């Protein structure tokens, strides 16, 4: 019996991930990575006056011609936009558009964490949207700006 409990706990910890899917409608999120954030972290630490690198591997369910990135910091249920140097996910972010349905795609970009950002706990809502504005990918990453 003790062995089964130990195996169950081990399996739960292996499956733990720091992000949650917040409504990916047209893709399956395979993995998410944030520089300096372990897979089993409760929150990612984003250091002010530095850059954070994010990667999202996903498999779209259909062909997508254009993809735009939207990033918001959600503080007390209030979304605050994070400006991105390149919101077009198909330019300088590892994606080649059109992205083919059923084929794994890898998005990679860098988010500047400005010195002017307050030291606060924030949920980072990262969305990759189709040309029609639908969520291809939506992930919510708990973070702390430090």
The label of the residue with tokens 């140097």 reads 85
Q: Across 6-134, where does the E strand assignment appear?
A: 20-21, 27-34, 44-46, 50-60, 67-75, 78-81, 105-113, 121-130
pLDDT at residue 4 is higher than 50: no
pTM: 0.85
CATH number of 18-145: 2.60.40.770
pLDDT in tens, 54-70: 999 999 999 999 999 99
Which pLDDT value is given to residue 83?
81
- Tell me how crowded residue 17 is: count the other CB atoms within 10 A of its CB: 14
Confidence of residue 16 (pLDDT cuts 50, 70, 90): low
In this prediction, residue 13 carries a pLDDT of 37
Segment 78-88 shows an average pLDDT of 89
């Amino acid at each position: 019996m003790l062995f089964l409990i130990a195996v169950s706990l081990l399996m739960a910890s292996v499956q733990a991930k720091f992000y949650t899917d917040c409504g990916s409608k047209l893709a399956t999120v395979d993995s998410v990575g944030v520089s300096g954030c372990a897979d089993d972290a409760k929150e990612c630490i984003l250091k002010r006056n530095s850059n954070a690198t994010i990667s999202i591997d996903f498999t779209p369910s259909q062909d997508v011609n254009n993809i735009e990135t939207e990033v918001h910091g959600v503080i007390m249920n209030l979304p605050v936009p994070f400006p991105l140097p390149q919101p077009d996910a198909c330019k300088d972010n590892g994606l080649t558009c059109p992205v083919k349905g059923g084929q794994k795609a890898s998005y990679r970009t860098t988010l500047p964490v400005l010195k002017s950002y307050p030291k606060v706990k924030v949920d980072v809502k990262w969305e990759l949207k189709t040309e029609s504005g639908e969520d291809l990918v939506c992930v919510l990453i708990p973070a702390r700006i430090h």
